[in-house]
Amino acid sequence: MNRRWFFLLTLLLVPCFTAALAATEPDFDSMRQQMIEEIEQQVRETASQLDDDKLDPRVIEALAKVPRHEFVLPTRRHQAYENRPLPIGYGQTISQPYIVAVMTDLLQLDPGDKVLEIGTGSGYQAAVVGELVKKVYSIEIIDTLGRKARKRLKRLGYDNVKVRLGDGYYGWKEHGPYDAIIVTAAASHIPPPLVKQLKPGGRMIIPVGSRFATQQLVLVEKNKQGELRTRQLMPVTFVPLTGGHKR
């Protein structure tokens, strides 16, 4: 084939391929925007529990950036922007986007912060926090999930998020203390090692309760003197925090 024909053929085929691809891939950007509007609506509806009727604009920006469809199972991509939890395999779930937004917002993160997450799961929550702070350390107890999340986060460019395989009940002492800690599995009590690894002036958000009942989202604040204040904010449903510690 001479060069002119090749050029013409390319001119003809490239738009065809692009159109075919566009037809198979949903418009994730506008779906994500729609998801954010639903979250903002739900935040207004639950304002009395949150002491706030809107999210920090930085949290909204982070939600607008993270491609949630990359964090769900391939068979669930079309549901990735529905405001609800989805299965991610191994009996675990990626949290409801509203819950991710609220928990992130409650941590009142600053760009220079170092954050610890317990329960990496898909890596979505870690990515959202990763958009807002300098460094995220995340621990996952199920090997395969942790490895997959680590690979995914790397592929998507979240170099500031580090994933470790292990029991998060004991935290990640080497990198502590942390400005904020987020636990995304329900614990029967607030793990003392995590309280220890929280900086004075830091905040921890954690669902507390049994696996058979509704749990409470609890905000733990450590003041500059190291004293704790805990507040129950709203009922939530999380998968349990497992591991060898006494429950």
Q: How far is the CB of 154 from ligand SAH (least distance, A)?
A: 16
Q: For ligand SAH, which residue of 115, 185, 198, 220 counts as binding (CB under 6 A)?
A: 185
Long-range Cβ contacts of 45-52 (<8 Å, 24+ apart): 46/102, 46/234, 49/233, 49/234, 50/102, 50/105, 50/106, 50/233, 50/234, 52/105
- Does 184 sit near ligand SAH (CB under 6 A)? yes
What residues pair up with 231 in beta bridges, in sequence order?
219
Interface residue with ligand SAH among 55, 132, 139, 198 (CB under 6 A) is 139
Active-site residue, selected from the candidate residues 95, 122, 138, 210: 95
**Pick from 46, 68, 45, 43: which is nearest to 57 by CA?**
43
**Pattern of binders to ligand SAH over 152-171, x per CB under 6 A?**
---------------xxx--
CA dihedral sign of residues 164, 169, 87, 38: negative
User: By CB under 6 A, what part of segment 76-105 binds ligand SAH?
Assistant: 92-95
72 touches ligand SAH by CB under 6 A: no
Work out the angle between the directed axes of helices 124-132 and 97-106 (0-180°, nearest 10): 40
List interacting residues with ligand SAH (CB under 6 A): 92-95, 118-119, 121-122, 124-125, 139-142, 145, 167-169, 184-185, 239, 241-243
Q: Point out the residues that are catalytic.
A: 95
